[in-house]
């Protein structure tokens, strides 16, 4: 069994937990259950939570290869947002193809559901006694060149066209400054539908909450295979009428799932706690989450203990969808992130960085999350959040619970994510070439736009291709 401190270096969030990270007991041998859930991150825990809210008599078992919250749930940027990785237009098309009578209305209902979900997660955390530093301070996206500003204007216009104009504010430079003093800001957008939180405290609290409702979590238990009615682990068999795969970026490690989800690495860094003199130069007083409008995504928040936690893409995809602790560190990418943060906030020029980490996130081929359950086989899956999983995983878990039990007063089973099936990723080496090729294109696009101020045609073509 790993030492207690084995998991603390995984992220700032796990390092700061005031609990021992001693793994729970492993599966002690063969076991029967009503529901077996593979993975004890957000998706698996939210699914268990809502299942047991519907039927407290269910025997729910969660199987986790490490500890609850080891994966993306304990490493992410701490954005609980209403962002969905696909555009509303794409959601409408998907809904229409799936048989919705009004695809546009289906897309709008999904967006309204996500808006409501953000404060709901805060309420659930409070009701369960989970102190995860939840503050709904909104989301600020800053435009620092004319190309980014044009996209900001288009985003707000699109939101208005869909009936969400009141939820998206177009900012000029002074409007941005009310939230944060970002160097070179020309304008931006702001929406209230995002909260900053401590993701590890949320996932660890959820684990205790589902245990309190009667679920059993077995850690240090590696799943080797699964099928209708059965999960095979290195510690024994679990026989269950319903089996749910909730492994997100680790899905490709399971036999038969290699092309279902591509694990894409996102890396993070965190400053030391900042003095008030620095915060007076930066702003972020209301703890809004923030980024700028570049194509290669970056994301940040002011933490409850006065740091900035900042992350972004740029790390390579690894051939064969490989996942490794070794990939959590990339000095070049971490240096780039630290340089970008200092570029945004020059007041950080003399500040030290105390933590660097990373992890993978799950990307389906069509960039469209899903929660699916087949009552004929008893098999279910949820995931593919493309980095927007803190809130979307909660919706997926609630949707899975509704699909599995038929108890669905909110008609979650008719949302566009319900029973959506993404196409498979291409086999290697095409997957490796495609994903890393896109990263290279976006890197060049951002450099070109920063230099010329003109939108990148290559990046625009890519976003059109994926239907964003």
Q: Does some domain include residue 169?
A: yes
Q: Does some domain include residue 105?
A: no
pLDDT (tens digit per residue) in 196-241: 999 999 999 999 999 999 999 999 999 999 999 999 999 999 999 9
Q: Are residues 318 and 267 in the same domain?
A: yes
pLDDT at 265 (0 to 100): 98
Mean pLDDT across 367-381 = 98
Global pTM value: 0.97
Q: Are residues 159 and 27 in the same domain?
A: no
Q: What is the CATH number of the domain that holds 391?
A: 3.50.50.60
Considering its fold, how many domains does the chain have in total? Answer: 2
Mean pLDDT across 83-102 = 97
Q: What is the residue range of 286's domain?
A: 139-191+263-363+428-465
Q: Are residues 253 and 280 in the same domain?
A: no
Q: Are residues 257 and 267 in the same domain?
A: no
Q: What is the CATH number of the domain that holds 337?
A: 3.30.9.10
Q: Are residues 46 and 185 in the same domain?
A: no
CA atoms within 13 A on the CB side of 158: 13
Q: Does some domain include residue 160?
A: yes
pLDDT at 467 (0 to 100): 56
Q: Are residues 40 and 54 in the same domain?
A: yes
CA angle 198, 203, 204 (to 5 degrees): 100
Q: Does some domain include residue 252?
A: yes
Q: Alpha-carbon distance 298 to 311, whole Å?
A: 6
Q: Does some domain include residue 133?
A: no
pLDDT (tens digit per residue) in 233-244: 999 999 999 999
Q: Alpha-carbon distance 39 to 24, whole Å?
A: 14
Q: Are residues 217 and 331 in the same domain?
A: no
Q: Does some domain include residue 239?
A: yes
Q: Are residues 345 and 219 in the same domain?
A: no
Q: Are residues 322 and 209 in the same domain?
A: no
Q: Does some domain include residue 99?
A: no
Q: Does some domain include residue 11?
A: yes
Residues 6+ away with beta carbon under 8 Å from 422:
260, 364, 365, 366, 368, 370, 384
pLDDT (tens digit per residue) in 323-370: 999 999 999 999 999 999 999 999 999 999 999 999 999 999 999 999
Q: Are residues 345 and 356 in the same domain?
A: yes
Q: Are residues 357 and 282 in the same domain?
A: yes
2 has pLDDT over 70: no
Which residues, in sequence order, are bridge partners of residue 171?
A: 188
**Dihedral (CA of 468, 401, 244, 95) sign:** negative
Q: Are residues 160 and 58 in the same domain?
A: no
């Amino acid at each position: 069994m790993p030492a207690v401190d084995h998991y603390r270096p995984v992220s700032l969030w796990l390092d700061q937990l005031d609990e021992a990270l001693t793994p729970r007991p492993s599966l002690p041998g063969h076991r029967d259950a009503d529901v077996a859930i593979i993975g004890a991150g957000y998706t698996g825990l939210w699914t268990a939570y809502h299942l047991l809210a519907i039927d407290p008599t269910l025997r729910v078992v969660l199987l986790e290869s490490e500890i609850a919250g080891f994966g993306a749930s304990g490493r992410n940027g701490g954005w609980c947002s209403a962002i969905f990785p696909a555009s509303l237009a794409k959601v409408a098309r998907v809904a229409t193809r799936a048989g919705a009578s009004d695809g546009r209305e289906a897309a709008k209902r999904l967006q309204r559901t996500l808006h409501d979900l953000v404060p709901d997660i805060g309420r659930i955390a409070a009701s369960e006694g989970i102190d995860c530093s939840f503050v709904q301070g909104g989301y600020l996206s800053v435009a620092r060149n004319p190309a980014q500003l044009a996209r900001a204007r288009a985003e707000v216009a699109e939101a208005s066209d869909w009936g969400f104009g009141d939820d998206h504010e177009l900012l000029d430079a002074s409007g941005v400054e009310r939230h944060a003093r970002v160097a070179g800001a020309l304008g931006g957008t702001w929406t209230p539908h995002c909260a900053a939180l401590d993701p590890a405290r949320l996932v660890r609290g959820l684990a205790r909450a589902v245990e309190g409702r009667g679920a059993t979590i077995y850690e240090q238990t590696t799943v080797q295979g699964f099928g209708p009615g059965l999960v095979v682990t290195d510690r024994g068999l679990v026989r269950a009428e319903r089996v749910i795969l909730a492994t997100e970026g680790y899905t490709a490690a399971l036999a038969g799932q290699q092309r279902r989800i591509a694990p894409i690495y996102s890396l993070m860094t965190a400053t030391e706690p900042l003095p008030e003199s620095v915060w007076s130069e930066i702003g972020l007083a209301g703890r809004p989450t923030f980024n700028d409008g570049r194509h290669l995504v970056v994301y940040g928040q002011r933490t409850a203990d006065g740091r900035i936690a900042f992350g972004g893409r740029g790390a390579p995809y690894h051939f064969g969808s490989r996942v490794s602790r070794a990939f959590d560190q990339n000095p070049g990418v971490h240096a780039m992130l630290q340089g970008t943060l200092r570029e945004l906030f020059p007041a950080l020029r003399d500040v030290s960085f105390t933590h660097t980490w990373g992890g993978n996130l799950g990307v389906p081929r069509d960039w469209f999350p899903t929660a699916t359950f087949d009552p004929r086989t008893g098999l279910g899956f949820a995931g593919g959040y493309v980095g927007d999983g803190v809130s979307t995983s909660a919706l997926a878990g609630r949707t899975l619970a509704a699909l599995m039990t038929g108890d669905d007063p909110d008609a979650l089973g008719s949302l566009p994510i319900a029973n959506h099936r993404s196409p498979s990723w291409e086999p290697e080496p095409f997957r490796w070439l495609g994903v890393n090729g896109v990263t290279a294109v976006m890197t060049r696009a951002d450099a070109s736009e920063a230099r010329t101020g003109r939108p990148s045609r290559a990046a625009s073509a890519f976003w059109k291709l994926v239907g964003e």
